[in-house]
Each structure stands twice: as structure tokens, then as C-alpha cells.
């Protein structure tokens, strides 16, 4: 286990719950908003916040959850669901010798903003608190834990709904489940937390009482935005939060200088980056680690997943995944780039062209109706309409290489492995099975034969 910096801030993400009310075999934190599981929304917030490290406490479906986490997020497993305090203690081995603060977040709360976390940090520092809890005051506090304050207005304890008296249940200020705490002090407090409560669980909020009893200051920061601390417990709540997320992420990018023409129909994931003067037309889905450069236009109904888009690029109603597009390139309409497709500058990929695991050098083009798979296409090469690279022999994939300034005629079949040199031509309708030298013309088609009068004779008609 690598050790964290002793003075940094570590994020602890609670992600062990099953989410019974979701009525799903999928762990709750893996249900998606804007293409990303809920937990990746939280991870994206942690990454933007600049935390020194992140540790996810997993439990139900632990292996499934781990599979979605980036490598830099460590995991600790809560094998028995014994409460939130017990969950936090599962990370203690990762935090040996750590003396900084831990930020405790829930893996099913996707809308928490950096601004609210910063305000919470400000309160934590100003009051020299051992622990600061985030609170809010909804119109209906429902079954949230109540925040009980003393006569001076300072937090005295947090009472879970099932353990609260009627007087305590009347309190509107409730616990949002977000904490910032000095790890050594919190760790010591958690070791003393018991489970004498209605659910027989070890509650993280009981650390408030333990820290106060030990003479350590505890603070509370109340946010006026109840929606950003809302969790997901049902599919209805998932849809409701997704709509709020869509509006907020669009506003964020509009304020940053991008144009989102119709926020109501545009979905942008939490890990997406848009540069200034990007234009996103209606109906687009931008997911994963997609990045779009300056002055680029993402045309209506395009879908980009883990795509790297340069500047001055035009994408017209196309699907791109795990692909990169260089400056000044045009893609589409109705093109499909996938599995590591890489386009350099000023490339043209036209309508109904699929590019898979292939690279196009500067100025190359495939304008229509082609499949280019596992190929290297040289600078200013032209791939004619209807061209197919035959890259799979039923057992293995093979590569096609097309040289610079080479012209591939329409309706060609390029049977890999095959190399066509630079400044070469292949005739329309050819099947190319052998390498073609630089500057050569290759034919690979059957000789045409014409039988005059054949149809008339077949039909018994005299000319």
C-alpha cells in the first residue's frame, strides 16, 4: 500500500450499499446518469477538487464496482453491512500514518458542487473543527438524521430518524451525509462508536458525540440547495436527479464559453471537457472522457464516448468511441469511428464510413460508404466509395497499409495483410490480394465478357 502525504486531503467514498429499492441486480452506485455510473460522478468531483487520493469503500457487488473505478482510486471492502462508521474503518489500513483531513462522500450523491465543498472547508478551517458535517433543511425532512443544536446554536449531536423522539423529528435541519474530518481524531472516535440503536449498526454520525465528549470542536455547514445533496434510492429519483444534472452541466459549460444549443436534449458526462467556442447542437450525447477543442462543432444527434476532438473540427450526426480526431477534420454525416480510430489534421470521413482501429494521416479521405478496419492510411490518400478492408480471416486480424497520395478506386476489396505503396492507383472494382509497389497501377478484377443476343435467344425472340 502506498502511503498518502501526511498533510493532504483524502476522499473516502461510501459505495457498499445494495440499493434494495432500485429493484435491480446492479449495485446502486453503478446506475447511470449521462453515461457514467453514479460513483464516477463522485469520482469526477473528487478529481476536480484535487484530493491527494481517493478510497472507495465497496461491498455489495464489490468486483463490479471496482471494474468501473479508475486505477488511481483505491478500494477497501466492507464484507458485512454493519453501518457507516464500520464502513469508514475498513479504510484504516490505507490511512496508516495519515494525519490530514478526510472528505467523506456518498457514492450515490452525484450533484454535490465544488462550491459547496469549498464553503464547507472554509467553515472547517475557520472553526478549527475536528469534524464538520454538511447539513440542509428541506421542506420535508422525511427520514433523514436530525441535527440537534445546543442553546448557543452549535451542533450537539445527530440523531437517526428511527432513534429520534417526536420533538427531535420536528427539527428540519438534517444530515446530508457529507463530512470533513481530521483523520486521526475521527479514527479514534470511530473506534469507540457502539451499535446500541434501532438498527443495531455503527453510525458515522455518532462520531459527532464522541468528538464533542473528548473536547474536540465540531462544526456544521448548512447548504441552501437541497437538490445537490440528494441521493438516489429509486429509479424515479434517478430520473429526477438526471434531469437536474443535465440542466446544471449545461449551465456550467455555457458559463465557461461553450454553446449548448438545446440543454433539454443534450447530455454531457461529468468527465467531459469543452473548450471555448465549442458548439454542441441538439440531441447530442457526450460521455466518458471526451474532450472537444476550440471552435469545433458537434452536429445534431452525434454521440461521442471517450473521444478526443481537436480544434476547428466538424462532427455531423455521427458515432465516435475511443477515437481521436485532429484539427480541421470533418466527420460524417452518419460515420462510425471506434476502437482506437485516429484521424490526423484535415482528414475527411464522409457519410456511412466506418473506421475501426485505423489511422488516417494528414489530408487523407474516405468520403462515402466504406469500411476501414485495422489499417494505416497515408497522407492525402483517397479511399474510394464502397471500399472494404478484409481484415479478419475468421481467426486473426490483419493489417492493411495504404501509402501517401495513393488512390484506391471505388468498390475495392483490400484483402489483408496487404501493403499498397505511395503514389499508387488501384482500379475500380478490384480485389487486391498482393502488395502493390510505389507508383504502380493494380487491377484485380475479372475480365468482362459480352455475349450479344443472349437475352433475346433465352426468351425465344428473333432479332
Residues classed as catalytic: 368
Distance (Å, rounded) from C-alpha 160 to C-alpha 88?
Answer: 18
Kindly report the length of the chain.
463
Q: Which of 190, 242, 191, 180 is nearest to 217 (CA)?
A: 180
Distance (Å, rounded) from C-alpha 107 to C-alpha 234?
Answer: 14
Distance (Å, rounded) from C-alpha 449 to C-alpha 21?
Answer: 71
The DSSP letter of residue 61 is B
DSSP H helices in 50-105: 62-68, 84-89
What are the two backbone dihedrals, phi and then psi, of residue 15, each rounded to the nearest 5 degrees? -145, 35
Query: Residues near 360 by Cβ (< 8 Å), separated by ≥ 6?
Result: 342, 343, 344, 347, 349, 366, 372, 377, 381
- Whether the upstream peptide bond of residue 414 has omega within 30° of 0, thus cis, is no
Distance (Å, rounded) from C-alpha 422 to C-alpha 436?
Answer: 9
Question: Is residue 238 helix, strand or coil?
Answer: helix
Query: Residues near 430 by Cβ (< 8 Å), separated by ≥ 6?
Result: 409, 412, 413, 442, 443, 444, 445
Query: 157 pairs with which residues across the strands?
Result: 148
Distance (Å, rounded) from C-alpha 271 to C-alpha 358?
Answer: 25
Grid coordinates standing for 210? 464522541
DSSP H helices in 321-370: none
Grid coordinates standing for 76? 477497501
The DSSP letter of residue 82 is -
Distance (Å, rounded) from C-alpha 176 to C-alpha 109?
Answer: 10
User: How far, in whole angstroms, is CA 88 from its chain's centroid?
Assistant: 25
Distance (Å, rounded) from C-alpha 168 to C-alpha 126?
Answer: 28
Angle at 303 between CA 297 and CA 309, to 5 degrees: 45
Q: Which of 245, 239, 222 is nearest to 41 (CA)?
A: 245
Report yes or no: 260 and 266 within 8 Å, Cβ to Cβ: yes
Only one residue has cell 504502380, namely 440
Question: Is residue 153 helix, strand or coil?
Answer: coil
Amino acid at each position: 500500500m502506498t502511503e498518502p502525504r501526511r498533510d493532504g486531503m483524502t476522499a473516502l467514498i461510501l459505495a457498499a450499499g445494495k440499493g434494495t429499492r432500485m429493484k435491480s441486480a446492479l449495485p446502486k452506485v453503478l446506475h447511470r446518469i449521462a453515461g457514467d455510473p453514479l460513483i464516477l460522478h463522485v469520482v469526477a468531483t473528487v478529481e476536480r477538487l484535487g484530493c491527494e487520493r481517493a478510497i472507495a469503500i465497496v461491498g455489495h457487488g464489490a468486483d463490479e464496482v471496482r471494474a468501473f473505478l479508475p486505477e488511481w482510486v483505491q478500494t477497501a471492502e466492507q464484507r458485512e453491512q454493519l453501518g457507516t462508521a464500520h464502513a469508514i474503518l475498513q479504510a484504516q489500513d490505507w490511512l496508516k500514518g495519515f494525519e490530514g483531513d478526510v472528505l467523506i462522500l456518498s457514492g450515490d450523491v452525484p450533484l454535490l458542487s465544488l462550491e459547496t465543498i469549498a464553503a464547507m472547508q472554509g467553515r472547517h478551517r475557520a472553526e478549527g473543527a475536528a469534524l464538520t458535517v454538511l447539513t440542509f433543511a428541506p421542506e420535508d425532512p422525511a427520514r433523514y438524521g436530525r441535527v440537534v443544536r445546543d442553546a448557543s446554536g452549535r451542533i450537539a449531536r445527530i440523531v437517526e430518524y428511527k432513534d429520534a423522539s417526536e420533538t427531535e423529528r420536528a427539527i428540519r435541519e438534517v444530515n446530508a451525509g457529507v463530512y470533513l474530518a481530521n483523520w486521526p481524531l475521527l479514527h479514534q472516535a470511530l473506534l469507540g462508536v457502539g451499535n446500541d440503536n434501532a438498527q443495531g449498526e455503527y453510525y458515522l454520525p455518532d462520531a459527532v458525540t464522541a468528538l464533542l465528549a473528548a473536547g474536540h470542536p465540531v462544526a456544521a455547514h448548512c447548504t441552501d440547495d437541497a437538490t445537490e445533496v440528494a441521493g438516489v434510492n429509486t429509479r424515479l429519483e434517478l430520473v429526477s436527479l438526471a434531469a437536474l444534472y443535465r440542466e446544471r452541466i449545461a449551465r456550467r459549460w455555457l458559463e465557461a464559453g461553450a454553446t449548448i444549443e438545446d440543454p433539454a436534449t443534450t447530455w454531457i458526462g461529468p468527465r467531459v471537457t469543452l473548450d471555448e467556442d465549442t458548439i454542441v447542437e441538439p440531441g447530442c450525447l457526450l460521455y466518458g472522457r471526451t474532450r472537444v477543442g476550440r471552435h469545433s462543432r458537434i452536429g445534431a444527434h452525434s454521440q461521442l464516448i471517450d473521444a478526443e476532438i481537436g480544434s476547428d473540427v466538424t462532427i455531423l450526426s455521427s458515432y465516435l468511441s475511443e477515437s481521436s480526431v485532429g484539427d480541421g477534420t470533418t466527420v460524417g454525416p452518419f460515420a462510425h469511428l471506434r476502437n482506437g480510430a485516429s484521424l490526423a489534421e484535415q482528414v475527411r470521413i464522409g457519410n456511412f464510413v466506418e473506421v475501426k482501429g485505423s489511422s488516417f494521416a494528414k489530408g487523407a479521405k474516405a468520403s462515402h460508404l466504406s469500411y476501414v478496419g485495422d489499417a494505416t492510411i497515408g497522407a492525402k490518400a483517397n479511399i474510394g466509395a464502397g471500399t472494404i478492408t478484409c481484415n479478419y480471416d475468421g481467426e486473426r486480424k490483419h493489417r492493411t497499409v495504404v501509402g501517401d497520395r495513393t488512390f484506391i478506386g471505388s468498390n475495392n476489396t483490400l484483402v489483408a495483410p496487404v501493403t499498397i505503396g505511395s503514389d499508387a492507383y488501384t482500379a475500380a472494382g478490384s480485389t487486391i490480394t498482393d502488395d502493390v509497389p510505389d507508383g504502380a497501377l493494380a487491377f484485380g478484377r475479372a475480365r468482362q465478357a459480352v455475349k450479344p443476343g443472349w437475352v433475346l435467344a433465352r426468351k425465344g425472340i428473333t432479332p
